[in-house]
Each structure stands twice: as structure tokens, then as C-alpha cells.
Structure 1
Amino acid sequence: MADDKLTKIDLVESVYLNTKIEKQDVQKVIDNLLEQLKSSMSDGKTIELRGFGTFEKRLRKGRAKARNPKTGEIVSVEPHYVAVFRPGRELKNAISDLPVDDESK
């Protein structure tokens, strides 16, 4: 299963191999990009990356009688925002062509 995961370190390595930009510089750019995404989202902005997808906030309704799955206790949940990602058409098309593996169900 670990082969199905791409970490930030893997991403830095891949960009380094494809561009020959120093790894430290690639790491700084990726860290800065992620920080900008987080900062913009926390300011309430929607982030649209054409050809990839859109990051946006969505309001989750509060509930008076939610259940804590760990303890089974009834708790109240206030309305709050969550981050959501909507993939763009190109990303959807790229993923739809992947072969279906019986183990992934």
C-alpha cells in the first residue's frame, strides 16, 4: 500500500529529478506553496488551479445530537467550515482511465 502514496519528500525528489533545481530550493518552493494555500484558505478564499482542481471552504451544519464514535456519548457539534477539493476535468479524466483493482474495494 505504501507504493500508492506520494509524500512531500517524494514530490521534492521528483521535481528535483525533472528540473535539476537544488533540492533545498524545491523544498522551499513546495513549503511556501503549501503555506500560501493554507493561508488563503484560512482567509476564506477559494483556490482554483486550472487543469487540476479547486480548493474551497464548505459550511458543515451543526447538530445537537451527534454521537462520539469512540465513546458513544451524545455531543453537540457547532456549525463549522471544512476544506474541500473538487477535481478539475483533466484530473477526473486522468483518474477515470485507471484500471480497477479488486483489492481497492
Structure 2
Amino acid sequence: MNKLKLIETLKNRCSLSQNEATDVVNLFFFEMANALTNGNRVELRGLWSFHLKEYKSYTGRNPKTGEIVQIDPKKLPFFKCGKELKKRADYRLN
């Protein structure tokens, strides 16, 4: 499912106009990104959670030239799947 499909589903199920459904979906993603930017964890209990993971500076290598480069420290979003989502996706280790 992509963002447009999510907007369409919300519009049909909640009897909203296209603009209202778009506003709701955009607000959700904006607030989620805003919370992560402020260092907060975002969680839909049972489904998933996101938090920022900090990575220290390290020495890397340019794959094209082989040149050694210093990689700056960074923060990246980290996704963790919840138990309910694993169960609904029929998550098995077979």
C-alpha cells in the first residue's frame, strides 16, 4: 500500500472528501517525522515502532576509488516490527 491508496481507503471508509483524507494522512506523517526529529520514539503498540539510532563516526572506503574517507556521525530512523504485526504477517522461522 502506498500513500495514495491509504488516502483513498480513508476517504471511502470514513466518508471524507479527498482533501480531508489527504490532510489527515499528511498530518499523521508530518507529526511522526516531527516527533522523530525531536528525538522522540513513535509507536503504534503491537504494530511497529520507530526511534532514532545514533551512529558514531567511522573510517570508510570509497568503493569506486578505494580512497579512505571519514564518515561523520549521524542519526537514522530505526524500525522495529511489533508482535501483532509479526503474527498477522504469519511470521515463521521455517
TM range (shorter): 0.7 to 0.9
The answer on 1:41 being equivalent to 2:45 is: no
- Separation in 2, partners of 1:69, 1:82: 22
Decide whether aligned partners of structure 1 residues 31 and 14 sit closer, same or farther in structure 2, where only a CA change above 3 A counts: same
Residue 58 of structure 2 corresponds to 63
Give the length in aligned residue pairs: 92
- Separation in 2, partners of 1:97, 1:57: 25
Residue 10 of structure 1 corresponds to 5
Decide whether aligned partners of structure 1 residues 88 and 67 sit closer, same or farther in structure 2, where only a CA change above 3 A counts: same
Q: Which runs of 5+ in 2 are unaligned?
A: none
Residue 89 of structure 1 corresponds to 83
The offset of 1:97, in angstroms, is: 5.2
Secondary structure of the residue aligned to 1:44 is coil
- Separation in 2, partners of 1:84, 1:43: 15
Of the three residues 15, 24, 31, the one matched with 2:19 is: 24
Secondary structure of the residue aligned to 1:96 is coil
Q: Which runs of 5+ in 1 are unaligned?
A: 1-5, 99-105
What TM-score results when the alignment is normalised by the length of structure 2?
Answer: 0.85
Q: Percent identity?
A: 28
What TM-score results when the alignment is normalised by the length of structure 1?
Answer: 0.77
Of the three residues 34, 48, 54, the one matched with 1:53 is: 48
Over the aligned positions, Cα root-mean-square deviation in angstroms equals: 1.8
Secondary structure of the residue aligned to 2:46 is coil
Decide whether aligned partners of structure 1 residues 91 and 70 sit closer, same or farther in structure 2, where only a CA change above 3 A counts: farther
